[in-house]
Structure 1
């Protein structure tokens, strides 16, 4: 998640102070990725160091205001126009867990999958309720529309994860059947196979 670009997008609408940026960021995303004020000010300091924002005096309450610079606007435009890179996907805990569970002694991988599926479907139901609430409110509200986009993305992710878990379970059943019918490997010289490293993921 790019906090710095999110803050730049909010600052493009006018000067803001730290806690105001935090509140607006969470309002826009439905607090799906909550920020603390420390993260906001740390990011603002780095943006100021990089020439993306400047301090713009104080408001009536004495809060230090920040404004986006021309360099910040250029950076923001580039962010909006550049696709999110998928060639180096982030680590996914569930995928790693299932990969490690395959063949792990004492681990019932089917039970792991079923437990995760129940959790994922419950999350999908919760997201769907949130979507219904969002649709019941003013659809023209900017923050409401932004939150609706976020919660729909969470629903699609949960749906895809549930389908993937079904696929994993089917594949494991097929592998178990194949292993049960496969003849025992021959022993002797030259019969052992050494698995080499997998090639890196490429898109």
Structure 2
């Protein structure tokens, strides 16, 4: 989710200033995505530049609230109507870590998998425990998503472990094996 669209969704509720937006954002995501206040104001500046929000006059406490514009409403509606692409999500550090562990000499890949599985199981238990304390539907849906992701990670780690049992590492090749015999190897 982009911060831009998150702030537009919050402004759909009514005018807010930066600190209100940050608090509402963190509350809406159950604190799973903390926002830096500088990021909020930088994003508001861009939204204002793109005419998706407009500032209102300062209130009695000196805060300047923002409101969503018609163009902002249209952008928000478009965002809600569009699916999230897998390519829009951040790189999967765990997949990259395991791929590198398999090809790095001296790394016990099974231990890496087991360490990650233990962490995923502890996370899953914590999320499940939190679920008993939640009555707020938006936070419950975020929590459910986190539970499903942790469950999927455990299933994927099971698959990785089964694949490792069947895996035969290719014979080690010297780094310069693909170079012609008369080629000079940089030293």
User: What TM-score results when the alignment is normalised by the length of structure 2?
Assistant: 0.88
Q: In structure 2, do the counterparts of structure 1 residues 87 and 32 end up closer, same or farther at CA, with 3 Å as the change threshold? A: closer
Tell me how far apart the structure 1 counterparts of residues 36 and 150 of structure 2 sit (CA, whole Å).
Answer: 26
- Structure 2 unaligned blocks of 5 or more: 172-176, 179-187
Q: 1:89 & 1:174 partners in 2: Cα distance?
A: 30
The alpha-carbon distance between structure 1 residues 165 and 11, as it changes in their structure 2 partners (threshold 3 A), is same
State the superposition RMSD in angstroms.
Answer: 1.8
In 1: Cα distance, 2:5 partner to 2:64 partner: 20
Match of 1:4 in 2: 4
- How far off is 1:87 after superposition? 4.6
Q: What is the Cα deviation at residue 60 of structure 1? A: 2.1
What is the DSSP-based 3-state SS (H/G/I as helix, E as strand, rest coil) of the residue aligned with 2:62? coil
For 1:38 and 1:28, the matched residues in 2 are separated by 19
Report how far residue 90 of structure 1 moved: 3.0
Deviation at 1:146, TM superposition (A): 0.6
- The corresponding residue for 1:163 is 155
Q: Which residue of 2 aligns with 1:73?
A: 73
Structure 2 residue 167 is matched with structure 1 residue 175 = yes
1:147 corresponds to which residue? 139
Q: What's the counterpart of residue 174 of structure 2?
A: none
Residues 1:22 and 2:14 are matched in the alignment: no
SS in 1 for 2:86: coil
Deviation readout 1:127-179 (Å, 9 max, x if unpaired): 11111110xx4xxxxxx211100010000000000000010000110124xx6
Q: Secondary structure at the match of 2:32?
A: coil
